[in-house]
A = this chain, B = another copy of it.
Amino acid sequence: MSNGTVSLWNGEGRRIHIQEVGTRDGLQAEEAFVPTEDKIALVDALSATGLAKIEVTSFVSPKAIPALRDGEQVMREITRVPGVVYSALVPNIRGAERAIDANTDEFNLVMSASESHNLSNLRMTRAQSFAALSEVSALARQAGAAVNVSLSCVFGCPMEGDVPEATVLDWCARYIEELGAGGVTLCDTTGMAFPTQVAALTRAFRARWPQTELTLHFHNTRGLGLANVMAAIDAGADRFDASLGGIGGCPYAPGASGNVCTEEIVHALALMGYDCGVDLERLVSAAKRLPPLLGHDIPSQIVKAGRRLDLHPRPADFEAIRERALGRA
């Protein structure tokens, strides 16, 4: 194969931006309510790692997602680190008002590229979602906040199957060109993305909107998470969502992995020579806070196995083994 491909595996200091979504996409799926002060401490620990962006919370109805009912307080009381973007999911006008009150840097607007998924999940048609999010976007602009749009199911819908690339790009066009969204996140909501498709969609997006901030959001549901990240980098992407500890599941695949794990992605990319700007040791320390907060183990393989060069001692009887072996020579 082409020698040009060598460079994909040699990052040579190229910058990759890592965005934490565990505090929103992860915690919203948890049964346990994580106390507000622990959420704040967790975001503050994440802010100190060098992550580019943190999705702090979701301003959805507290009745719909009680786990994040303290969104305003968390967003207000975290310690903002200059350079880090603090975003939140904002589904509607009421949420926008709360997000503005809490001084949210960036509004993350969510809609599905699949009509069936949008109706099932948000109880609106995609056209209705677009209309509602247009109003949210206008409020964000007035308040001076940035707007990012997360399109769910762009790599496949668990009910409809493949979602045509043209459909995905049409919705991107409406948000970027009609609404003026500054960023788009292409979300693999249920882990259906595969590298061939990821490379093609990333390349198509990048060619059409070279100035728009593009994020890829992968789930590791079928074990393809890191391979999809590499295919996206190969096609020109440099910004990825990931979830601390790998928390955040998939309702369609009980027991399977959810979001790609932040410390696994950072560990892997750092080994390949990419610059994520993230202090892996601090990141792993932050991940280790999760099990006691959540009351259960986390998927993170790096928390379980350690980093590549976290070495182990030789067996206690190693010298005796060696002497016996050499005695046989």
Contacts and interface: CB of A to CB of B under 8 A. Distances in A.
A6 interface: yes
Contacts of A271: 194-196, 224
Interface in A88-110: none
B272 A196 contact: yes
A208 interface: no
Contacts of A4: 1-5
Number of copies of this kind of chain in the complex: 2
Contacts of A253: 301, 304-306
A285 B318 CA distance: 43
A173 B40 CA distance: 57
A43 to B, nearest CB: 24
A223 B268 contact: yes
A234 interface: yes
Interface in A301-329: 301-302, 304-309, 311-315, 318, 321-322, 324-326, 328-329
A314 B195 contact: no
A8 B313 CA distance: 39
Contacts of A272: 194-196
B9 A2 contact: no
Contacts of A25: none
A325 to B, nearest CB: 5
Contacts of A255: 297, 304
B9 A234 contact: yes
Contacts of A152: none
Given A123-B321, A123-B325, A252 B194 contact: no
Interface stretch (A53-61, A70-78, A256-264): A256-264
A119 B302 CA distance: 27
6 contacts: A123-B325, A194-B308, A220-B301, A223-B267, A223-B302, A253-B305
